[in-house]
Chains A and B, each alone.
Chain A
Amino acid sequence: MRAALAVAATVWFFGASFGLVARTAGMGVSAPLVMSATTFAGSAQFAVTSILGASGGAVAAIAAAVLLNARYAPISISVAPYFRGRRLRRLTESQLIVDESWALASRGDGRFDRRILLGAGLLLYASWLSGTAVGVLAGDALGDPKSLGLDGAFPALFLALLAPQLRAPRALAAALLGSAIAFALIPFTPPGTPIVAASAACLLGLRARP
């Protein structure tokens, strides 16, 4: 719970910097808010602002964002067993899946805690949306988002959530292979692709257990 609150605070500031950057990129007030409410995925939203801000076309912005969010297909499949009930309910609840809620809920060994996934997801959704609102309306008061060091905080956060999952030799091997794939592809492929390609490392799971 304390961990979720810390992540929510970081996400709030990240949302505020998204709001500020989106406003500066000429997206206005309501479009960034609608985007945070429907897309709810930081890296893709930042990619859109930087492409639109540099007068890139709609197609380039859409392609970059969809590629960055393509990881949510495998991510959502990994937690599928925890969503029950009618299709509309599963669709609605699935929108609370975001990197951070998914990582917080991960128990290792492929198991997840449904209450943490949805509880942290709801908390992060509220932080992201309210942060965006403050960012578009009063972002200038926050100063330059880069001076907060948030871009260094998120990889450290993911590293902290990753560390306890590496005890199993197979998980460690898969994580190393995945990071090597991602690292090797960064210079040659558009952002988002290295992450999706890294998931090929999960195929190590098909090897018979020793």
Chain B
Amino acid sequence: MSTVWLVVLVVGVATVALKATGPVLFGGRELPEPVASVVALLAPVLLAALVVTQTVGGDNELVLDARLAGVGAGAAAIAARAPLPAVVVAAAAATALFRLVA
């Protein structure tokens, strides 16, 4: 088997298993109380971490580039109560524009 197919298959099986963890092991019943109150904070925490890593994350280094301009434009659109599609378009346009000019 080629390297490419080996990677595709192993990563595919691993990701299917990771995504199935909760629904297969704990599906259909309420989570026990301490777990529920911890998990309740997962959305804000992971979304915040994704914002940080996708804005300044690199391969073992902080990278400051056009993405910062995009997130800045997105933040301005959010503050102006723009709908989600407008936020995404503003961020993509600002990132592309910054990259074009810089």
Contact = CB atoms under 8 A, between A and B. Distances in A.
Interface of A: 2-3, 5-7, 10, 26-28, 31, 34-35, 38-41, 43-44, 48, 52, 57-58, 61-62, 65-66, 69-81, 83-85, 87, 90-91, 93-95, 97, 99, 102-103, 106, 108-110, 146-163, 165-166, 170-172, 174-179, 181-183, 186-191, 194-195, 198-199, 201-206
Nearest to A192: B53
The 9 tightest CB contacts between A and B, nearest first, are A152-B70, A156-B74, A152-B95, A110-B40, A149-B95, A156-B91, A38-B12, A149-B96, A76-B22
A198 B48 contact: yes
Contact of B70 (A52, A93, A103, A149): A149
B36 A110 contact: yes
Judged by DSSP, the binding face of A is helix
A195 B78 contact: no
Given A73-B21, A152-B91, A179 B52 contact: yes
5 contacts: A57-B3, A97-B19, A148-B92, A153-B89, A156-B75
B88 A153 contact: yes
Nearest to B29: A81
Interface in B28-42: 28-31, 34-42
Interface residues of B, number: 84
Given A52-B4, A76-B19, A205-B37, A155 B96 contact: no
Given A39-B11, A155-B55, A198-B46, 18 more contacts: A2-B83, A6-B85, A35-B8, A38-B8, A44-B11, A52-B3, A62-B7, A73-B22, A75-B46, A77-B31, A81-B28, A151-B54, A152-B96, A152-B98, A155-B54, A156-B73, A198-B49, A205-B37
B35 to A, nearest CB: 8
A175 to B, nearest CB: 4
Contacts of A176: 48
Judged by DSSP, the binding face of B is helix
Contacts of A69: 11, 14-15, 18
A48 B7 contact: yes
Which of B34, B45, B91 neighbours the largest number of chain A CB atoms within 10 Å of its CB?
Answer: B45
Given A10-B92, A73-B18, A162 B52 contact: no
A94 B51 contact: no
Contacts of B88: 6-7, 10, 153, 156-157, 160
Which of B23, B52, B88 neighbours the largest number of chain A CB atoms within 10 Å of its CB?
Answer: B23
A108 B55 CA distance: 23
A83 B22 contact: yes
A71 B46 contact: yes
A58 to B, nearest CB: 5
Which of B28, B91, B99 neighbours the largest number of chain A CB atoms within 10 Å of its CB?
Answer: B91
Contacts of B45: 174-175, 177-178, 198-199, 201-202
